[in-house]
Amino acid sequence: MPTIAIVSQKGGSGKTTMATHLATCAAYAGSKSCVIDMDPQATAAAWGDWRGDFLPEVITCPPVRLISAIGKATRDGTEVIVLDTPPHGDLASREAVRAADLILIPTRARAFDLHSLEATAQLVAYARKPAFVVLNAVPSRATRMLAETAEQVENLGLAVCPIHFGERAAFHKASGAGEVAAESEPEGKAAAEVSALWAWVKEQLPPGK
C-alpha cells in the first residue's frame, strides 16, 4: 500500500493542492485512492465536501489515529494513500513521515520558505525514507531561480524532485470548485505537471509498493 506524505512546516507551500491533485491523478490512473487530512484546518476535507461522491475519498484524522486510519483504508481496498499535513504540525508531520513510503516537501522558491525548509529537513533526516523537495508555484522563465533554489535545497541535505509545478491559476481555480486542474483545464500545463509528478512518484516507491 503506497503511502505518500506531503509535509512542509511552512504554511501555504502547496501541501493540500499537491495532496488532492496526486490522489486524484492516482484515481484516474485506476487506483482506489484516498487523502488522509491530518490538518485541523481541514482544507482537504472541505475540498472533498465540495467535490462530493467522486474519488479520492478524503478522511480527516488526528495524528494519534493515523495508523488505525491507514489500516481501515487498506481493509476498504484503498491502493494509494496521500497524507496531507498541517504547517507547524510537529506531531502530525512526525507521524506522517513515520507512516510514509515516500515524502514530498512542496516549497516555494522564496527566501522565507527556504529558511523554514531547515525544520522540515531535520524532520526527515532520521526517517531513512526517500524524501524530495518539490518546487511549487515557480514563475515562468525562472530557469536561473530554479537552479539557485535547487542548489540551496541540496545544501540542506535534501534531494530535489526533477518535476516542479509552475505558478498556475488553474490549481487554485480548480481547488475552489472541488476539482483538480485536469478536470477544469484538461489540456493545461498544470494538469500535465501533475501527471508528470505522479509518473515520477510511482517510480520512486519501494518495490512491491
Ligand X SMILES: Nc1ncnc2c1ncn2[C@@H]1O[C@H](COP(=O)(O)OP(=O)(O)OP(=O)(O)O)[C@@H](O)[C@H]1O
The interface region with ligand X, picked from 39-47, 59-67, 75-83, 119-127 by CB under 6 A, is 39-47
Binding site partner of 87, from Mg ion, ligand X, none, Cβ cut-off 5-8 A by kind: ligand X
Report 159-188 residues binding Mg ion (CB under 5 A): none
Is 171 a binding residue for ligand X by CB under 6 A? The answer is yes
* Cα separation, 76 vs 148, whole angstroms: 44
Nearer to ligand X among residue 40 and residue 71 (C-beta): 40
Is 43 a binding residue for ligand X by CB under 6 A? The answer is yes
State which of residues 2, 5, 7, 14 lies at the interface with ligand X (CB under 6 A).
14
Binding site partner of 137, from Mg ion, ligand X, none, Cβ cut-off 5-8 A by kind: ligand X
Nearer to Mg ion among residue 41 and residue 204 (C-beta): 41
Is the preceding omega at residue 56 within 30 degrees of 0, hence cis? Answer: yes
Beta strands in the chain (DSSP E): 3-6, 33-37, 57-60, 80-84, 102-108, 131-136, 159-160
The b/e string for 63-99 (b: 16+ C-beta within 10 A; e otherwise) is beebeebbeebeeeebbbbbbbbbbebeebbebbbeb
Binding site partner of 56, from ligand X, Mg ion, none, Cβ cut-off 5-8 A by kind: none
State which of residues 3, 13, 24, 120 lies at the interface with ligand X (CB under 6 A).
13
Is 12 a binding residue for ligand X by CB under 6 A? The answer is yes
CA 92, chain centre distance (Å) = 14
Nearer to Mg ion among residue 2 and residue 86 (C-beta): 86
